[in-house]
Amino acid sequence: MLALLVRSTLIGLFTAALILVAVPDLRSGLFSVSSLPDFDEVQQPELVSFSYAVKRASPAVVNIYTRNYVRGDRLQLNTQGLGSGVIMSAKGYVVTNYHVVAKADQVIVALQDGRIFTAQMVGKDQRTDLAVLKVPAENLPVIPVNQDYQPTVGDTVLAIGNPYNLGQTTTYGIISATGRTGMSFYGRQDFLQTDAAINRGNSGGALVNSRGELVGINTASFQQATDLETYGISFAIPYRLTEKIMNKLIADGRVIRGYIGIDGRDVNPVMARLLDAEQQRGVMVADMDKGGPAEKAGIQPQDLIIKINDKPVKGARGAMDIVTDARPGTTLSITLIRDGESLTLPVTVGNEPDSGE
C-alpha cells in the first residue's frame, strides 16, 4: 500500500513538472497578468461623426436679418426678423426663403467668417417660397453640390441654420419622405420631409447629406404650417428645384411660367378603363380655365392627356413641370385620348396669371 502511494505521488510530481516546462506562464500563476492584452492595444470602435460634412457645408450657410423702416421715419430702420441662407455661387448669389425676406426693406447677410453685407434683392418667387439675394463680396465659400445625388428615404441629413438667433446650429436626422405636396403656404409644392429639427431662424438654411452636399433648402416645420403639436416633421425644398428657380430669378428677376389653363388628375387603372383607355397612364382633364389656351385649342374635360411633345406623361406633376418650363408663346403638341381615339392638338403656351407676389 505504501509503495502504491509513493508511486502515485511521483507520477503526479513528474506530470506537474512537464506542464510547467511546456507552459512557462503558469509558473507565475494559473492566470498570468502578462498573458492579458494591454488596454491600449485593444482595437477601439470607429467613432461615428459628421464633422467632415459640417466643415464642408457650414461656411456657406449665412445668417440673414431683415429690417424695416419705422413708420413715418424713412431714415430709421428696425430689425424685424431673422433667417438663414445658402451661398450658391462664388459670384455672391445667396438663396433663402421667400417668407424670410418678402416684407423686408433691407436685408443683412452675415457670413460665418465675420463679414457682414447689405444684400441686393435679385428676385423672389412666392409659389416655391424661394428668393435670391446678392452680396458684393469675394472669396466666398460655396455650398458643395452633387448633380448625381438623388435624395432617398433613409439618407442621413443635417440641417444647418441659425435657430432663434442662437448662432449657427446643426441638427441631425434622415429623409423621411420625398415628393410631399400640398404643404406649402403658397400653393402646390414638392417637399423633402425630414425629422431633423427645423425651428424659427432655420428657414432658408441648408439641408445637406453626410458628405456635406446640398440636399435642399430648409423651409418649415409641420407645427409652423398647421399649429398642431407634432414633432419630427419638417420640410425642405429639393436642391434641383432650388437651382432651377434660382437660375430663372437671376435671368429674369422673376419666374416666368408657362400656362395652358388645365386642372388635371392622375389616372389610375380604374379611371383609365372608364375612359376607354385601358393600360394607359396620363392626366385626366378635370377642369379648364374659360378662355385659356387649352380651351382655345379644343381640349375638353374628360380628355386623357398621355403625351406632351411626344414625351409620355405619367402624372399631373410631370405634366405641370413640362408646361411651366415652357416659355410663353411656344407651342406644345399634346396627345390625348378622347372616346377611345387618339388625338393630337397644338396648344400655344400663355403667361401664367399674376399670382399676387
Enzyme catalytic residues: 99, 129, 203
Give the Cα separation of 267 and 280 in Å (integer).
Answer: 8
Give the Cα separation of 222 and 195 in Å (integer).
Answer: 10
Beta strands in the chain (DSSP E): 61-70, 73-87, 93-96, 106-110, 116-125, 130-134, 156-161, 169-180, 191-194, 206-209, 214-221, 234-238, 258-259, 262-266, 283-288, 304-308, 311-312, 331-338, 341-348, 350-351
- Give the residues across from 121 on adjacent strands: 133
Cell of 233: 416633421
CA nearest 189: which of 64, 99, 281? 99
DSSP string, 8-49: HHHHHHHHHHHHHHH-GGGGG-SS-GGGSPPGGGSPPPPPP-
Cell of 88: 450658391
Q: State the first-to-last Cα distance of the chain, in angstroms, to the nearest integer.
A: 114
Half-sphere exposure at residue 130, Cβ-oriented, CA atoms within 13 angstroms: 31
HEC secondary structure over 231-294? CCCEEEEEHHHHHHHHHHHHHHCCCCCEECCEEEEECCHHHHHHCCCCCCCCEEEEEECCCCHH
